[in-house]
Amino acid sequence: MDPISGIKTYKDTTFAMMLAAQRRGLELHYMEQGDLFIEEGTAMAASRAVTVEDNTGDWYRLGDEEVRPLSELDAVLMRKDPPFNMEYVYTTYILELAQQQGTLVFNNPASLRDANEKMIINFFPQCIAPTLVSRNLDQIRDFVRRHGEVVLKPLGGMGGESVFRTHRDDPNLNVIVETLTGNETRFIMGQIFIPAISEGDKRILLIDGEPVEYALARVPMAGETRGNLAAGGTGRGVELSARDRWLCEQVGPRLQQMGLTFVGLDVIGDYLTEINVTSPTCVRELEAIYDIDIAGRFIDVVRDRAMARRDVA
């Protein structure tokens, strides 16, 4: 995970998972990205036992560092936030080796590499609004011209970072595209602007392919297009609509097959806009609104699979 000293406990989903695991009597070990390494073909880590408390002050205690093969752990949760860069890719190689050597990794590291959170929606064309992935200036300008109002965004960001709403008459369109693409050296995504964003960008959580019954609608603040909580959006709980459930039915089985066990779908209006697989959030907010144990449902899946694997071994 990212450094535990810097998390906001009231909204951190990884922290919610730690609390849920601890309530179930599971032993927790804490690792950051730089604690992983490979030595003589073995995936290793410098880990520390950790205990957590649900408060905003003194919320964790770390034990002494122990260097061990990752295969000694029953399961590893990969909860490192983007950016999705080459360091992230190298980390997935270490975790894939650990998986080969006997531990379970959630989410599946090979699928973390394959399932870019923006790009993967294109494998479900029945679920998405008109979308373009390109780094060609003329193609992107033509897409904006044809659709009138468009959202442009990089493929590797998070939290609404560098997301632009633009239109065919925008005098800054060229410079926006040049900046995002690095003068046509980086692919970006364009999606038509969906007015239903005013009702919120819904985060729907899937656990092992099945949706949680409530979503968090992240409503943009006044004058904003982005609903991301990190960009000032306000979260409110909503029940899943029939369309939401249909979208989950379309994508859930494939994500489950890929070993993407904990996933966050972003839905605006009737359309799927992203599939978050690296470190989906919004658990704490939904648990507070509805008094449900979402993190516990996920940890139960992890525990049950680890126990089944141990029984087989």
Which amino acids are annotated catalytic? 118, 153, 203, 218, 226, 266, 274, 276
CA distance 190 to 178: 14
What one-character DSSP code corresponds to residue 196? Answer: G
Give the contacts of 275 (CB within 8 A, at least 6 positions apart).
115, 117, 120, 121, 251, 255, 263, 264, 265, 266
Identify the sign of the CA torsion 109, 104, 12, 48.
negative
Burial of 238 (0-12, 13-18, 19+ CB in 10 A): middle
Phi and psi at residue 114, in whole multiples of 5°? -75, -30
Long-range contacts of 27-31 (CB under 8 A, 24+ apart): 28/52, 29/73, 30/1, 30/4, 30/60, 30/62, 31/1, 31/76
Q: Are 303 and 143 in contact (CB under 8 A)?
A: no
CA distance 288 to 285: 5
Q: Are 188 and 135 in contact (CB under 8 A)?
A: yes
Burial of 75 (0-12, 13-18, 19+ CB in 10 A): middle
